[in-house]
Amino acid sequence: MADGKISLEQVRHVARLAQLELSSDEETRLQSELSEMLEYVEKLNQLDTSSVEPTAQVGESGTPMRDDLVTNKPAPSEMLANAPAREGDFIKVPKIIE
């Protein structure tokens, strides 16, 4: 695999590991696609990254936070306006367990 090509046997082996059943056309297509991916990775490996410091994260670190404000105040009468039956601030449902 030094030349970036994947053999059909390697495709079949990976398919077996992934428990995939592939037709011969799919095997051939995947062989070509995976070989192209490896060739691209090989091009990336040729880049000089000696001046680039290792990073654990590419984007901004952490999750942006916002103030936790209530924007929809509880309004039980409005929430229950479409309920078929209600009792106080609750939806009334038929008894299902005897």
The Cα-based distances of 33 to 16, 19, 39, 45, 65 in angstroms read: 18, 19, 10, 19, 41
Which of 90 and 61 is assigned the larger pLDDT? 90
Band (4; pLDDT cuts 50, 70, 90)? low
pLDDT of amino acid 75: 84
Domains of the chain, first to last: 8-45 (1.10.20)
Nearest to 8 by CA among 30, 37, 36: 30
For the entire predicted model, the pTM comes to: 0.48
